[in-house]
Amino acid sequence: MKNKSLTPMMRQYLEIKEKYKDCILLFRLGDFYETFFEDARVISEELQLVLTSRNGHPMAGVPYHALDQYVKKLISAGYKVAICDQVEDPATAKGLVKREVTRVITPGTLIEDDLLSSEENNFIAAVSEEKGVFPFVIADISTGDVAVTSCESLSDLKDVLYRTAPSQLIMNEKLKPLKKEITGELSNVFLEFLEEWHFAYSSSVEYVKRFYELASIDALEISSAEIIVLGALFKYIEMTQFKPMKHLSLPRVLRRSGYMYLDASTIENLSILPSERRGSLYQTLKATVTSMGGRKLKEWLLNPLKDLGKIERRLDIVEAFYSDPLLLEELREYLRQAFDIERISSRLATGRAIPRDLQALRTTLQVLPLIKELLYSNDVLSVIAEDIELFEEERKLLEASISDEPAAAPGEGKVIRRGYSEELDELMDLLEHSQDKMKEFELRERQKTGINNLKVKYNKVFGYFIEVSKGQVSRVPDDYIRKQTLVNSERYITPELKEFEDKVLSASERVAVLERALYEDICQKLSNSVQRFRKAGGLLAELDVLQSFATVAKKCGYTRPVFSSNHTSYVEAARHPVVEHYVKDFVPNDIQFDEKHSFYILTGPNMSGKSTYIRQVALISLMAQVGSFVPAKRAILPVYDRIFTRIGARDDVAGGKSTFLVEMMETATILSQATEDSLVVLDEVGRGTSTFDGISIAWAVSEYIYEAIGCHTIFATHFTELTELSQMYEGINNKTIEVREIEDGVIFLHKVVDGVASQSHGIDVAKLAGLPDIVLQRAREILKIIVKTSALDKTVKVLSSDEIKEIRKKKKGKMHKNQMSLF
């Protein structure tokens, strides 16, 4: 590149680019943000923009008004973008402008307009490693939410990443060797490695203290390793945003002991979160009407409660809504009027609130008293009403200052309401009624001087002037200043007229300046309340989720679960909350767990409904612990500490793991982490290997769970051999799913009953699937031969009491209960 051909601006571009090498630099120039050199090539290709050239160098630009939209595209294509704006240069007396990077946008720091109504969180996360533990922090800059946890193992960290799905992950450089392992299954995460010094303890402590204005970090009750990543993340945010992020909340500390832990495969197996392929629990339970509620619902579904008091509190509220449909409908109506004040708060705090945000904030604050009053009308709900703050001062400020339909930006007098500022009103009056004002002035002067034909006129040379005909000149008062003499008249100005003229001529400019200043002042005042707005937003979100539970419970015929004190369970006529919407006549089934029924072997033909049944048992408990009613006629449930699932075949080709290896790893996790208070549902464990290996593993796993862990378990299997276990262990029972055999196949009745499946009917299902007759016939012949020759030798003995003692001892040493923390 020949430096000679560079313009001064291009040189400046290169200078700034030096510091922001890893970013696409967008340079404000008039109505465009321009890029030059290689950046220009990149953006013209990524954004399909015309590539032009200046002095032989490539150049491309995006229009100023469409910046957000283009930046978002660049970010999703994996780029970081530095926005270089024109700012006043205090070094020059003339107030000249200079260009400066005002923010760096990365996937995790994107908080533009279109996110305002989104139900998704946009998390930026940071992780480091300290003695085998991974301290982890996430923040959503667009809502102000911050949370920390520590992952005790790599698989814990992967679970947390799966659950939070951050769009950007900042990692300590020392974790580079684990990059593939950590992020293997994450798609679309923007990774950045920061050098180790970013994770220095002392600077992080100082930073966090300063950020939260704390005398000591002890108040946060988080470990020093967590402080380090929190500090590193905040430093990163400040480095990219150049603005204080005062809306970021104190970190929520998430410890595994506080919640029912769901690992990534359980979230996947139970279809808790929405997926493109099938329905989910989230979609079923979602009758929320605000985006804050949508986000909260997701958070709750991923973190079911273990504290019975808290669960009952949620259920009480759901019941109060459920049993008062009119109140419920009224509340939904008010909530529909509430806007996403968490996001508005973040925009206020970062100086990016637009007038529409303030209009939305006002509407939301206006609806709060109505919600409060409504909740007070019900005894149970009045407890929540107490917590609703009314923001009288802020509401009055917004009502007095922001017009009903404000313009997109301040500057033309269409944002600030009339009556808020006398000065602005006067200027606007001047602009709108300058002609009338002139007439008024003229009339006043005529009356004052007695000159009937006195006229106020305007020309470009003098501006406004008073014209008096020659015959009347003797009446002209002393304070008139003569400006010009014509044949038949004299022209004068007065200080008042000049003052008026100045006002009119500069009024529009002054309106622009004054309205912007007033607007900024209002935003500034409101920004002092952002933490309280966020809190109110959180409360509205919770109300929204709880009303959503009540709405769905009514629509789908759910009942309130009751919790047993002796860890037993009886659910009558239970349904699968998602599948019931996809099949015509869903057949409800019961489930019972007590001392004599803690472990079920569930056999049944293919397609009979085994997976559906075991999933519904897990989902019903999960729903209950989230605080929702459940799809059953009656439900008595224990509080589970964890739900484990091992369902379906999954491989991890990227991580070099076969289907069977993944299956065994998941099973190993269950055996090492389940406690007697857990619920375990297993589907076809052992299927991924040879039949005899599979049966042996499944058998030994069942014995281990039953004897060493003793938790409620359902094991769905095609290995009918496992049903022998019920003969040997008192609490192991057999269940099967009924089918009616007909001449030409089977009818699936989907009814779960005591007993063992007579056969798998796999060939009947193969027929349904359309396998050719000749293949089906041959399969039947082979089946007959195999059944005769390979029956399991029924000589397996029950575990001896010494063996049981031994496995219980080993299990104890491995217990992880409540040790780990999670998200």
Ligand X SMILES: Nc1ncnc2c1ncn2[C@@H]1O[C@H](COP(=O)(O)OP(=O)(O)OP(=O)(O)O)[C@@H](O)[C@H]1O
Contacting residues toward ligand X, per CB under 6 A:
579, 583, 586-587, 604, 606-612, 750
- Min dist CB 665 to ligand X, Å, is 21
Sign of CA dihedral 395, 399, 404, 409: negative
CB of 759 to ligand X, least distance (A): 13
Q: Judge whether 121 is annotated as a binding position.
A: no
User: If you search the block for the tokens 């293919």, which residue do you land on?
Assistant: 606
Decide whether 80 or 718 has the Cβ nearer to ligand X: 718
Q: Closer CB to ligand X, residue 256 or residue 735?
A: 735
Smallest gap from residue 609 Cβ to ligand X (A): 3
Return the number of the residue (246 or 750) whose C-beta is nearest ligand X.
Answer: 750
Does residue 107 sit in helix, strand or coil?
helix
Residues 651, 662: contact at Cβ < 8 Å? yes
Minimum CB distance to ligand X smaller for 404 or for 585: 585
The 10 Å Cβ neighbour count of residue 744 is 7
Q: How far is the CB of 735 from ligand X (least distance, A)?
A: 12
SS3 50: coil
Minimum Å distance from CB 718 to ligand X?
Answer: 7
Nearest approach, Cβ of residue 580 and ligand X (Å): 8
**CB 611 → ligand X: shortest distance, Å?**
3
Q: Decide whether 143 or 266 has the Cβ nearer to ligand X.
A: 266
* Distance of closest approach, residue 651 Cβ to ligand X, in angstroms: 18
Whether residue 9 is annotated as binding a ligand: the answer is no
Reported in sequence order, the residue ranges of 437-584 that DSSP labels E, i.e. its strands, are 455-459, 463-469, 481-485, 489-493, 562-563, 569-574
> Is 611 part of any known ligand binding site?
yes
Residue number with CB closer to ligand X (416 or 662): 662
Burial class (CB in 10 A: 0-12, 13-18, 19+), 326: exposed
Return d(Cα 344, Cα 350) in angstroms, integer.
Answer: 10
Closest CB 791 distance from ligand X, rounded Å? 21
Q: What span, in angstroms and rounded, lies between the C-alpha atoms of 196 and 236?
A: 13
Minimum CB distance to ligand X smaller for 230 or for 695: 695
Report how far residue 738's alpha carbon sits from residue 747's, in angstroms, rounded to the nearest whole number. Answer: 9
Closer by beta carbon to ligand X, 604 or else 686: 604
Alpha carbon dihedral 275, 277, 278, 282, in 10-degree steps, equals 10
Residue 743 CB, shortest distance to ligand X, in Å, is: 22
CB of 176 to ligand X, least distance (A): 42
Instruction: State the sign of the Cα–Cα–Cα–Cα dihedral 391, 397, 403, 406.
Output: negative
As to burial, measured by CB atoms within 10 angstroms (0-12 exposed, 13-18 middle, 19+ buried), residue 522 is buried
Residue placing its CB nearer to ligand X in the complex, 108 or 604? 604
User: How far does Cα 637 stand from its chain's mean position?
Assistant: 30
- State whether residue 679 is helix, strand or coil: strand
**Tokens 């997701």 -> residue:** 298
Concatenated DSSP letters of 330-368: HHHHHHHH---HHHHHHHHHTT---HHHHHHHHHHHHHH
Q: Would you say 570 or 586 has its CB closer to ligand X?
A: 586
Q: Order across the sheet with 32-36: list the strands.
A: 52-54, 57-63, 32-36, 23-29, 80-88, 97-105
Which residue number, 256 or 646, has a Cβ lying nearer to ligand X?
646
CA quadruple 109, 110, 116, 120: dihedral sign: negative
Query: Is 421 flagged in the annotation as binding?
Result: no
Contact, 599 vs 676, CB < 8 A?
no
815 is in an annotated binding site: no
DSSP state letter for 718: S
Q: Give dist(CA 735, CA 663) in Å, integer.
A: 24
Query: How many helices (H) does the chain have, and how many strands (E)?
Result: 26, 26
Chain-centre distance for alpha carbon 441: 60
Report the distance separating Cα 307 and Cα 170, nearest Å: 33
Closer to ligand X by CB, 245 or 607: give it: 607
Q: Contact, 572 vs 697, CB < 8 A?
A: no
The answer to whether the annotation marks 538 as part of a ligand binding site is: no
Q: Which is nearer to ligand X, 420 or 586 (CB)?
A: 586
Q: Which residue is nearest to ligand X (CB)?
A: 609
Least separation in angstroms between CB 654 and ligand X: 26
Minimum distance of ligand X from residue 623's CB (angstroms): 17
Say if residue 607 carries a ligand binding annotation: yes
- Closest contact distance (angstroms) between CB of 751 and ligand X is 8
Q: Collapse the DSSP code of 100 into the 3-class scheme (helix H, G, I; strand E, B; otherwise coil) and give the result.
A: strand
* Minimum CB distance to ligand X smaller for 341 or for 737: 737
Residues in contact with 155: Cβ distance below 8 Å, sequence separation at least 6, in sequence order: 263, 669
3-class secondary structure for 757-800? CCCCCHHHHHHHCCCCHHHHHHHHHHHHHHHHHCCCCCCCCCCC
Q: What is the DSSP letter of 630?
A: B
CB 142 within 8 A of CB 343: yes
606 is in an annotated binding site: yes
Question: In one letter, which amino acid is 247?
Answer: H
Nearest CB to ligand X, comparing residues 61 and 609:
609
CB 737 within 8 A of CB 609: yes
Least distance to ligand X from the beta carbon of 20, Å? 53
Q: Which residues are annotated as a binding site for ATP?
A: 604-611
Q: Which residues are annotated as a binding site?
A: 604-611
